[in-house]
Amino acid sequence: MERTFLMIKPDAVQRGLVGDIIKRFETKGFTLVGLKLLSVSRELAEKHYDVHRERPFFQGLVEFIVSSPVVAMVWEGDGVIASARKIIGATNPLNAEPGTIRGDYGINVGRNLIHGSDGPETAASEIALWFKPEELSNWQLTNKAWIVE
């Protein structure tokens, strides 16, 4: 079953948006299989954003991620990787459609509220980077037959 890694960033945690953000993935029909609040080490933040290491915003991005706790999550379901990216919206919140998380709550690319894996390979590597296998639960929604035929 497809899984993705999502991280509610420090700005959204500080602004009290954790519940609203989780609710969007829950009510969509996806299954939460891993969840934790943590203060991110510099090492973890740098590894997570390693692909952006040479970009001018890298240092500021790492400072932001370590500045206050984040909520790390793994969600499961058919098509969850691409669907979560749609629910999240465009990287720059000013370009994100209303109805998306970034479109509803953000105005700045450096404060865009949430991260979501962008494909199957990054999802697998990000889940392994952020979660130990025993921190993930394999379970089925009891109402699954009312969500997926």
Residues that bind Mg ion in the complex, under the rule CB under 5 A: 118
Compare residues 69 and 141 and give the one whose CB is closer to ligand IDP. 69
Cβ 69 vs Cβ 39: under 8 Å: yes
Instruction: Determine whether 43 is exposed, middle or buried from the number of CB atoms within 10 Å of its CB (0-12, 13-18, 19+).
Output: exposed
| Nearest distance in Å: CB 6, ligand IDP | 11
The encoded tokens of residue 20 equal: 């609203």
Is residue 118 involved in binding ligand IDP (CB under 6 A)? yes
Compare residues 63 and 147 and give the one whose CB is closer to ligand IDP. 63
| Residue 7, CA distances (Å) to 17, 45, 122, 146 in order | 12, 11, 13, 28
Residue 115 bears catalytic tag: yes
Residues catalogued as catalytic: 115
What does the binding site for ligand IDP look like in residue numbers (CB under 6 A)?
52, 57, 61, 91, 109-110, 112, 115, 118
